[in-house]
Structure 1
Amino acid sequence: MNRPSDSVLDTVAAGSYFAPHDILGPHEEGDGWLIRARRPFAKTVTAVLDDASEVELAHVRSGVWEGRTAAQPHAYDLVATYDGGPDHRADDPYRHLPTLGELDIHLIREGRHEQLWQVLGAHVRHFAGVDGVSFAVWAPNARAVRVTGDFNSWDGAGHAMRSMGSSGIWELFVPGLSAGTAYKYEILTEGGAWVQKADPMAQWAEVPPATASVVTESGYTWADDEWMTARASQSPLDKPMSTYEVHLGSWRPGLGYRDAADPLVDYVLAQGFTHVEFMPLAEHPFGGSWGYQVSGYYAPTSRFGTPDDLRYLIDRLHQAGIGVIMDWVPGHFPKDEFALARFDGRALYEHADPRRGEHRDWGTLIFDYGRSEVRNFLVANALYWLEEFHVDGLRVDAVASMLYLDYSREAGEWEPNVHGGRENLEALAFLQEVNATAYKRYPGIAMIAEESTSFPGVTAPTSQGGLGFGFKWNMGWMNDSLVYMKRDPMYRSHHEGELSFSFVYAFTENFVLPISHDEVVHGKGTLFTRMPGDHWQKLANMRAYLAYMWGHPGKQLLFMGQEFGQLSEWSEGRGLDWWILDQPPHRQLHDFVAALNRVYRDNAPLWARDSDGDAFQRLGAPAWNPNVIAFARRDHHGNTVAVVCNFSGAPIHDFALDLPEAGEWSELLNSDAQIYGGSGVGNMGTVHADGSGRAHMVLPPLGVLWLGHRTAAGDDAV
């Protein structure tokens, strides 16, 4: 081996050489071996070999030392002595081979490493007979990269990483480190500046506002095998699905992942929801973003505990029979200097063209979906949450912003695609890839799009050119129905279409009906305050609206607090108005939502064929009243539930309605029942339809009836 030049040795000593392993560590030379080490300010440096023999190293230049030995030194420690300081003994990081294999690097370059989190980032490993931590990061534009952390007093010059060639990956194994180590990467940019960055692949981080990454190692043993096995054999489209959306930090303030497990499980079970959807729990610097500006895509936020604490929470929900949806944000990321923005001194994760790479309205950056490594980062991230945390689905935020190049842009602020259109073809391909891959690897999950436009085929299979989502949020239904409900009942008769128009397109996609956090912030009030009338009427309107919503084709999602009529607009900085449950009318609404979920789950016509137009029938003959919306749902066995809604403020007596079947119809649910705070107007539990199916009934004011009819063949199938 030729002696390195002085300039190379100086660069190695400064920790800014791109290939430090080529200089430092053991190297065969002639008929022997040379050991070279960087130990600035040392008085002496000795290599203690695994057979206890010693090799004295001599100072060469700028704190670089070297010594020779006849036999190959397989393992050794470096012992350095200092004037006026303690001796320092440590294994040499530069004697170790790379921890990434050639196949890993090939898959990363191709953008096809589906378990990217297992090779990039920081990992506790037993490697070459030594315990330590391996570090690997993608920074293709960097001139040098080094690891800095609490283990080296935040001076990374002694822990320069090696370049893995054209892959753009940098790697280093540091013996002796363990879980709990805080670290960052120091990156030398092409312009000659050093920047400190958190690890994009870190699986844990310091509690904000601190920004360092933290080495973690899971020791969790899952106990949800029964749930996971059953999930893999089922499709959520054919199952009941009513989701309770939760912002963990304000559901019950002060509770961490573990502390929240028991009360959340108990509450969701009592309310009868099938799923919990968590607003984003990936690490984020600003709590006021509600998690929608992510800085650590692979790191559960440390605000509520460790990654294993989150595993415990999800495990407990699964053991109680409750599914878990996680909010996922692949559409944009913040500009914070410590995170992904200009990661290696240039646009890397973001698109370099600001017409495609920046959301000016949100002050965020947009991923470069056309770059294979970036696409791999995001696809693997979706798989990471499904694999490592057993989540049952991802709600993908802001899909519309990803689909269109002109999203929230004026003319001249965007560039058409290669075909001259407005669609972001690279983002479309990414969404198709992530959905197809997720469903292939994890059958039974639900990929859910928050998509607010009429983009076709959101839930169509990718094999048919669709985006491949399992569900799409029905924003049209949400907007129209809330506009209708806000009206005084005396004026609703002229706006019946605001409730019934959704029936026209209800089966064009697989829909979720969302009353989410977005509907109870930014001056919108709450579901309760949007309703017209006095306090009693507001609660009656709420019960009627929720009963209409639960009866409507599609799955349901309700944001926390709306189940008991929260009065104050939601704020992430404080808890819910739990005190209001001491007021009987709000406790009764709370009980009504539990009844809704119970009856919904017990009656398959309300969920078994949500996306099948042949299972739906609009009702209205022979009487017609613009304040009455009526329809019927049927399951695979011929059992039927009729949903009859009276949105006027007065009862309607002797209302004639042709039902799909003759015979007795059971009153499964009456939103006006006295036990729920209603006036008690009803039909004594049953409604009779004559041989032609015509029935006469009483419709309660601001009330909804669910009427059930079973076929003989379907008695045990509802």
Structure 2
Amino acid sequence: MSEIPLLVHNDPWLKPHEDAIRRRLNRFRDTLKGIENQTGSLAAYATGHKFTGIHWQDSSKSWIVREWAPKAKAVSLIGDFNRWSRDTHPLVQSTGGIWQLRLPADTLGHGQRVKLHVTGADGSRRDRIPACIRRAVQDPVTHDYSGQIWSPPQPYVWQHSFDPATVKSPFIYEAHVGMSGEEGRVHTYREFADQVLPRIKTGGYNTVQLMAVQEHPYYGSFGYHVSSFFGVTSRSGTPDDLKYLVDTAHGLGIAVLLDVVHSHAVKNMAEGLNDFDGSGNQYFHAGGRGDHPQWDSKCFDYARPEVRQFLLSNLRWWLEEFHFDGFRFDGVTSMLYHSHGAKAFNSYDDYFGGDADEDSILYLQLATTLIHRLKPGAIIVAEDMSGMPGLCRPVEEGGVGFTHRLAMGLPDHWIKLLKEIPDEGWDLSQLWNVVTNRRHGEATIAYAESHDQALVGDKTLAFWLMDKEMYWHMAVEDPDPVIERGIALHKIIRLITLAFGGEGWLNFMGNEFGHPEWLDFPREGNGWSFHHCRRQWSLVDNPDLKYKWLAAFDRALIGLADHHHLLATPQANLLNLDLENKVICAERGNLIFVINLSVDRSIPDYRLPVAKGGDYHLVLDTDAVEFGGQGRIDRTIAYPVDEEGKLSVYTPARTALVFAK
């Protein structure tokens, strides 16, 4: 009998599914062995983008154009160079469904617009953008997209190197470059690098996660309906501008993750890959399986080797060309299951039964293996709400190979509480269970809110807590009770989530200072307005407004967690759950947390058991004046542990306190 996968050995509850886990692992090993026999290595296999596309070849001093379109009847190159003639520059079909054309040196040039004219298997004739194009641009008049030759005479010269392995616990700042400024327009990579990255560094974050980088035709899709997978969205600048952003971040000691979308693709034919060769199922599944009903998009056929190679090559491209330090994989739950995760997950059977898409699982195992080999120490985050066991364990153990998964249930729970239950009615037992419920040994990125919770139709935490009162009562000298409650709970929610919710932390741009309102991209329904598609840094920069208090607390919270290596320590240990007084006492990483969620009950001489004797001192107080609190605690005094092994503290209502030895 073959060896039991380590994943099963470490979790006996997986024993009934040992065959499924072994089958996945063996299929991965067999596929990887076949790739290595074919090309020498997985990295060499992931070079499809160097073969297909439009490339200058120094050896022959000529251009080579290649495209994979196996069922197409004819393919020709059109563009500025031939006045968009569909007849003058045909490609010739070669082996493996590849079409090819060689052109003299003076035929093409940097900045020229190009497309392919494809006669499909179904007789259709369409102008298409090459699948591996490095840049796509939109005509300012017609709004049509074209590919663009990107071959600058002087390549970008990198100034800084960075090793993502130095990031032991990621504090992730999720950001969208286009909406990162205050003006009502699309902002640029260089503006973000020069103006926003210093804010992120000052805030204590060590990782930036960039959304909406892969080219997408509809700005309002938030970058999740990708058309050109190798293209840097031209709305915010050139590929060199993006390199400048990454380079600047590395100079500040900040890792940069790409929010990569391999879970689906835009269904547009004019801009994307849909029905590229007219066969109906080149990159995507045929028929209904190729359509994503919830997202109005197309689903990749991960069983097809050419599709896997395309996507793996895409990962290598972003890692090597732009020096990204890893990825946040969007929509992993949708990839893992034929149902796209549109169901409840109540038992282990749900992860290993017929709904599991083992073609997708194989692709993800190959993807994480490739990333680890190309960039050891890379951060690979899965956006998964299903909780599939092993998702964040090494592939050789029977896992899928991600380094972290997002704790997607945490923000949903906070929003549910704020929508439905006044804070005096919160169930602390349920809250503790939700915040601490995660798989042992699989690292989790905790967050109280991301971009998802702030999109139009929902609200930020700050707006759920304070709503319209934020328009009138955020002046420092205005003692409004709604704002006072909102600021107090905003700080406590973030502290609880960060301290107990995972092994990493994520914040969406601006939420650290309670950015008001929601996110809404320019669209027909709002008159193409940018009013809700920007970040109002002037709010936090204004010393007369209360936003500065939330920003100061966020810096202190992250600084404390970083200094004490909090997120690298085991899960929190509950010391006392006081339902009557609404107090949670817990320990993690040699820090003691006392959280009073009572509306009106401040308790002097509150005694709680601690494991170690000696004196403790207060290291973080949400009630501190500099964080907008009432300053009810004397931070200078020592807190000795008595003979009974208990610590006595004063715990004010709606206040969280953190003590250290």
Any idea what the Cα deviations from partners look like across 1:354-377, whole Å, max 9, x if unmatched?
342111222111000000000111
Q: Which amino acid aligns with 1:329?
A: V
2:74 counterpart (144, 166, 185): 144
Question: What SS is found at the alignment partner of 1:156?
Answer: coil
- CA RMSD for the aligned pairs? 2.6
Q: Which residue of 2 aligns with 1:619?
A: 575
Q: Are the structure 2 counterparts of residues 688 and 322 from structure 1 closer, same or farther at C-alpha, using a change threshold of 3 Å?
A: same
Any idea what the Cα deviations from partners look like across 1:313-343, whole Å, max 9, x if unmatched?
1000010111111111111111111220000
Question: What SS is found at the alignment partner of 1:584?
Answer: coil
> Aligned runs of 1:425-436 on 2, under 5 Å?
425-436=358-369
CA contact (8 A) 1:405 1:422 kept: yes
Q: Which residue of 2 aligns with 1:251?
A: 180
> Aligned runs of 1:388-467 on 2, under 5 Å?
388-407=321-340, 421-467=354-400
CA contact (8 A) 1:145 1:188 kept: yes
Question: What SS is found at the alignment partner of 2:568?
Answer: coil
- 1:468, distance to aligned residue in structure 2 (A): 0.9
CA distance in 2, matches of 1:115, 1:350: 17
Any idea what the Cα deviations from partners look like across 1:245-269, whole Å, max 9, x if unmatched?
1111111044311222111221111
Q: Which amino acid aligns with 1:434?
A: A
Any idea what the Cα deviations from partners look like across 1:170-218, whole Å, max 9, x if unmatched?
1112221222121111112223332211011011111363311111126
Structure 1 or 2: more strand by fraction? 1
Q: Are the structure 2 counterparts of residues 479 and 192 from structure 1 closer, same or farther at C-alpha, using a change threshold of 3 Å?
A: closer
Q: Which residue of 2 aligns with 1:566?
A: 515
Q: TM-score, normalised by structure 1?
A: 0.76
CA contact (8 A) 2:122 2:279 kept: no
Q: Which residue of 2 aligns with 1:50?
A: none
- 1:525, distance to aligned residue in structure 2 (A): 1.1
Deviating more after overlay: 461-470 vs 623-632:
623-632
Q: Are the structure 2 counterparts of residues 441 and 692 from structure 1 closer, same or farther at C-alpha, using a change threshold of 3 Å?
A: farther
Question: What SS is found at the alignment partner of 2:303?
Answer: coil
CA distance in 1, matches of 2:334, 2:285: 17
2:159 aligned with 1:211: no
Q: Which amino acid aligns with 1:195?
A: R
Question: What SS is found at the alignment partner of 1:183?
Answer: strand
Q: Which residue of 1 aligns with 2:651?
A: 699
- 1:489, distance to aligned residue in structure 2 (A): 2.7
Q: Which amino acid aligns with 1:517?
A: H
Q: Which residue of 2 aligns with 1:240?
A: 169
Q: Which residue of 2 aligns with 1:714?
A: none
1:201 counterpart (104, 128, 132): 132
Deviating more after overlay: 513-522 vs 429-438:
513-522
Q: Which residue of 1 aligns with 2:592?
A: 642
Moved beyond 6 Å, runs of 4+:
103-106
2:495 aligned with 1:547: yes
Question: What SS is found at the alignment partner of 1:187?
Answer: strand
- In structure 2, list runs of 5 or more residues that go unmatched: 1-34, 344-349, 467-480, 522-529
- 1:297, distance to aligned residue in structure 2 (A): 0.4
CA distance in 1, matches of 2:386, 2:456: 21
1:535 counterpart (464, 483, 489): 483
Q: Which residue of 1 aligns with 2:159?
A: 223
Q: Which amino acid aligns with 1:632?
A: E
CA distance in 2, matches of 1:365, 1:118: 25
CA contact (8 A) 1:672 1:701 kept: no
2:111 aligned with 1:180: yes
CA distance in 2, matches of 1:528, 1:575: 16
2:583 aligned with 1:628: yes
Q: Which residue of 1 aligns with 2:433?
A: 500
Question: What SS is found at the alignment partner of 1:160?
Answer: coil
Question: What SS is found at the alignment partner of 2:109?
Answer: coil
Q: Are the structure 2 counterparts of residues 161 and 107 from structure 1 closer, same or farther at C-alpha, using a change threshold of 3 Å?
A: farther
Question: What SS is found at the alignment partner of 2:273?
Answer: coil
Deviating more after overlay: 515-524 vs 368-377:
515-524
Q: Are the structure 2 counterparts of residues 525 and 451 from structure 1 closer, same or farther at C-alpha, using a change threshold of 3 Å?
A: same
CA distance in 1, matches of 2:283, 2:581: 51
- 1:350, distance to aligned residue in structure 2 (A): 4.0
How many residues are matched? Answer: 579
1:524 counterpart (453, 458, 463): 458
2:593 aligned with 1:664: no
- 1:625, distance to aligned residue in structure 2 (A): 4.6
- 1:508, distance to aligned residue in structure 2 (A): 5.1
Q: Are the structure 2 counterparts of residues 105 and 174 from structure 1 closer, same or farther at C-alpha, using a change threshold of 3 Å?
A: farther
- 1:690, distance to aligned residue in structure 2 (A): 2.1
CA distance in 2, matches of 1:665, 1:409: 48
Q: Are the structure 2 counterparts of residues 174 and 349 from structure 1 closer, same or farther at C-alpha, using a change threshold of 3 Å?
A: same
- 1:349, distance to aligned residue in structure 2 (A): 4.2
Q: Are the structure 2 counterparts of residues 349 and 322 from structure 1 closer, same or farther at C-alpha, using a change threshold of 3 Å?
A: farther
CA distance in 2, matches of 1:396, 1:627: 38
CA distance in 2, matches of 1:150, 1:157: 14
Q: Are the structure 2 counterparts of residues 126 and 424 from structure 1 closer, same or farther at C-alpha, using a change threshold of 3 Å?
A: same
- 1:495, distance to aligned residue in structure 2 (A): 4.5
CA distance in 2, matches of 1:127, 1:156: 28
Q: Are the structure 2 counterparts of residues 162 and 126 from structure 1 closer, same or farther at C-alpha, using a change threshold of 3 Å?
A: same
CA contact (8 A) 1:261 1:313 kept: yes
CA distance in 2, matches of 1:691, 1:178: 81
CA distance in 2, matches of 1:316, 1:628: 44
Q: Which amino acid aligns with 2:498?
A: W
CA distance in 1, matches of 2:483, 2:282: 51
CA distance in 1, matches of 2:454, 2:296: 23
Question: What SS is found at the alignment partner of 2:335?
Answer: helix
CA distance in 2, matches of 1:539, 1:659: 29
CA contact (8 A) 1:472 1:512 kept: yes
The structure with more radius of gyration: 1
CA contact (8 A) 2:327 2:380 kept: yes
CA distance in 2, matches of 1:629, 1:472: 26
- 1:585, distance to aligned residue in structure 2 (A): 1.6
Higher RCO (C-alpha 8 Å, min separation 6):
2
CA distance in 2, matches of 1:465, 1:327: 25
Q: Are the structure 2 counterparts of residues 378 and 349 from structure 1 closer, same or farther at C-alpha, using a change threshold of 3 Å?
A: farther
> Aligned runs of 1:114-193 on 2, under 5 Å?
114-128=46-60, 130=61, 132-165=62-95, 167-175=96-104, 176=106, 177-193=108-124
Structure 1 or 2: more helix by fraction? 2
Question: What SS is found at the alignment partner of 1:293?
Answer: coil
Q: Which residue of 2 aligns with 1:20?
A: none
Q: Which residue of 1 aligns with 2:202?
A: 270
Q: Which amino acid aligns with 1:155?
A: S
- 1:275, distance to aligned residue in structure 2 (A): 1.2
- 1:304, distance to aligned residue in structure 2 (A): 1.0
Q: Are the structure 2 counterparts of residues 344 and 526 from structure 1 closer, same or farther at C-alpha, using a change threshold of 3 Å?
A: same
- In structure 1, list runs of 5 or more residues that go unmatched: 1-102, 411-416, 635-639, 710-718
Q: Are the structure 2 counterparts of residues 409 and 447 from structure 1 closer, same or farther at C-alpha, using a change threshold of 3 Å?
A: closer
Q: Which amino acid aligns with 1:160?
A: P
